[in-house]
Amino acid sequence: MPKGYAIHDTKDWTNFKVEDFDLKPAEDDDITLSITHCGVCGSDVHTISGGWGKLAVPYVIPGHEIIGTVTEVGKNVKDVKVGDRVGVGAQVSSCMNCVPCWNDNENYCRGDGKKGVLDTYNSKYADGSIAQGGYSTQIRAHQQFVFPIPDAISSENAASMLCAGITSYSPLLRNGCGPGKRVGIVGIGGLGHKLRFHSPQYGVLFAAAMGAEVIAISHSPSKREDALKMGAKEFISTKETPNWAKKLAQNPLDLIVSTASSSAVDLPAMLSTLNVHGKLVFVGMPEDSFKDMRVQAFAGNGCFFGSSHIGSRKEVLSMLKLAADKEIKPWIEVLPMSRCSEAVKRVSDNDVKYRFVLKQDLE
C-alpha cells in the first residue's frame, strides 16, 4: 500500500508521521509511479504550516517535484511505458475542456464546472479521492501531467525542475527571453531572509541557457559568486549599490522575473529599470499587498506587471530538452526522505543552496 510522510496539523508542521493512503482509482489515461525522488518546494512549507490557509484534507503528504518509475499505465497512455523514468510537477489534472486547455495552457485551465486545475497535494479529485504528494512511495496522475525524463538528466537533478524550474522557465519563454535580451532575475537572496517561494537559481540558469544577458538582482551581496557561476553576467546588490535602479535604467532590462516572496520589494524602482513595454513577472507570492502600486510608475516606459502559474506540458518537455542539451545542473542538496522534517525547517529559514531533493527511503 502507498505510504508517505504526512502532516496532520499546521501548528505542528515539522512533525511528519508515516501514513498509508489510497491512490485515486486508476483510469484509462492514468500513469502510476513508484517514487524515487522528490524536491522540497517553498509551497510545501506554506501549505503544511498553514500560511496559505487550513488543510483541505485530513492529513497532507506534501511534495510536487516528483521523479519515479512507471509501474502501471492505463490503456490510453501514449509516450510512456512500465519501467520508464518520469516526473510529476505541481498539477495533476485539468478539465481538458476549456479554451486554455485546448491551447497548451492547461496550467491556466478555467474549469468546465466539473474539473479544473488540481494541485498535486492537499486537494481532492471530483470523485472525492484525495491527492497526496511526493514525500511518499507512489503517485498516480493523468498522462498529460506525467513527463518522460531525458536520460541525460539524473533523477536528483530533474526533480526540482518540475516546479521551481518550470515556474521560472515558462515566463522566460513566454516573454521573449533569448539572445539580445537583458533579463533581470530578482531574489537571489541569502540566509536570514523570509521563506522564498521559489529558488531564483533556475531563472539565472535558464535565462542564460536561452541566450539572454542575465542580471541577478539581490538585496544582499552574499550570493554574488554563486549567481555569476550560474551564468549571470552582472550581479547587483541593491543594498550596496546606491541608485541601483537609475544605473540599470541606463541600459534597461527587457524582462524581470522575480522570485522574491516579499511585498517589500521597491516596485517603482524595479519597474523603472525596464525597457519600453518591458515586463516584471512575479513568480514569488507575497502573502500581503504591495504598499506602493501607483499607475504613475508604469507610464514613463509603458511597462507591465504580472504573474505566472507553473507551465504547460509542452513547456515542461521543452525545458527538459533544453536542460539535457545544455547540461543544466541545478544546485541541490540531497537528503534521505526520512529527513523531510529537517528539510522543510531549513527551507523555511532559507538555509539551503539552493534546493533540497529527498531520496526515497520508505519500503
- In the complex, the residues that contact a second copy under the rule CB under 8 A are 100, 103, 105, 108, 110, 174, 249, 252, 263, 276-277, 279, 282, 284-286, 288-296, 298-309
Nearest CA-CA partner of 49 in 7, 90, 91: 7
* CB count in 10 Å sphere of residue 220: 16
Q: How far is the CB of 312 from a second copy (least distance, A)?
A: 10
In the chain, the amino acid numbered 54 is K
Residue 243 or 296: the one with the smaller Cβ distance to a second copy is: 296
Alpha helices (runs of H) in the chain, residue ranges in sequence order: 42-48, 99-102, 155-159, 164-174, 201-209, 224-230, 244-249, 267-272, 296-299, 313-325, 340-348
Q: How far is the CB of 354 from a second copy (least distance, A)?
A: 21
Residue 26 or 102: the one with the smaller Cβ distance to a second copy is: 102
Nearest CA-CA partner of 330 in 156, 213, 166, 170: 156
DSSP per residue over 41-66, as a string? -HHHHHHHTTTT-S-SSSSB-----E
Q: How far is the CB of 82 from a second copy (least distance, A)?
A: 35
Residue 32 or 120: the one with the smaller Cβ distance to a second copy is: 120
Nearest CA-CA partner of 156 in 317, 323, 344: 323
Q: How far is the CB of 204 from a second copy (least distance, A)?
A: 21
Q: How far is the CB of 298 from a second copy (least distance, A)?
A: 4
Q: How far is the CB of 217 from a second copy (least distance, A)?
A: 17
| Whole-angstrom Cα Rg for the chain | 20
Chain position carrying cell 538528466: 153
* CB count in 10 Å sphere of residue 361: 10
Residue 192 or 306: the one with the smaller Cβ distance to a second copy is: 306
Residue 266 or 351: the one with the smaller Cβ distance to a second copy is: 266
Q: How far is the CB of 284 from a second copy (least distance, A)?
A: 7
In the chain, the amino acid numbered 93 is S
Q: Which residues, including other chains, have CB under 8 Å from residue 225's CB and lie 6 or more apart?
A: none
Residue 43 or 157: the one with the smaller Cβ distance to a second copy is: 43
Residue 225 or 287: the one with the smaller Cβ distance to a second copy is: 287
* CB count in 10 Å sphere of residue 75: 7
